[in-house]
Amino acid sequence: MVEYEGFITDIMIRIAGDIVLSENPGKGIRKWREFFEMSQAELAARLGTSPSVISDYESGRRKSPGSQFIRRVVKALVDYELERGGQKLYILSRQLGGERFWEAILDMRDFDMPIEINEFVKAIGATIAVGPEGYVDIHGYTVVDSLKLVLDVPSHEYLKLYGSTTQRAAVFTNVKYGRSPLIAIKSMMAFTNLRPAVIIMHGVDRPDYLGIEIARRERIPLAIVNNTIDELLAALRNLAERQRIVTR
């Protein structure tokens, strides 16, 4: 039997629990498979089954898998990532510890299906300051109090912004000068090249020149929004709920 380091075992338990406790375990399998960038065919091969079986579970055509099957899925995903260097396991390991980051979080959700960036920005009443270079999908969002993040949270914990996917909107509230979110993301990129799909800054009329320049150089779409925090959170949650209903 393969022995894993302690933090990897913790990650495996977390992934398995997320799948088992989700409303739709098949969608949970798909979420983690896509997080690890693993194809249905590759997962099926490692489990000794066919891609159609994986597809049936993920689509809900087959009844929910049992705990033994889920355990085998999680092991296959982790082994696959370890063979590729384990960077995503490192990301997840950083998410397991530390409470200061979670004190800065106002909301954090994943979408059942991705939303195109322009649709996302329009839905929350934001304006794009630095546009994307091509088509960008948003798979979720994280709303964070920028002052608490910058003042109280070590930069290595910023990886928690991504949740289960890097293709998400990082929404920073209480921005004062229009640059702190970009500086926070840039400091995180000093030890990993990961970046959010879009940064939303709340609380400023426009980003200052440094914020815009960082966004352009790092190729990170940037938008601003000036409604109240309550209105912003309501718009985000309504968007997530409408999208969830549509994809049922």
CA distance 91 to 35: 11
Beta bridge partners of 198: 169
- List pLDDT tens digits, range 119-152: 999 999 999 999 998 889 998 898 988 888 777 7
Residues of the chain predicted below pLDDT 50: 1-3, 247-248
- List pLDDT tens digits, range 179-203: 778 877 776 666 566 788 999 999 8
At 24 the pLDDT is 86
Rg of the Cα atoms in the chain = 19
CA 171 to chain centre: 12
CA distance 161 to 108: 9
**3 state DSSP class of 4:** coil
Give the orientation angle of helix 6-21 with respect to helix 25-35, to 10 degrees.
140
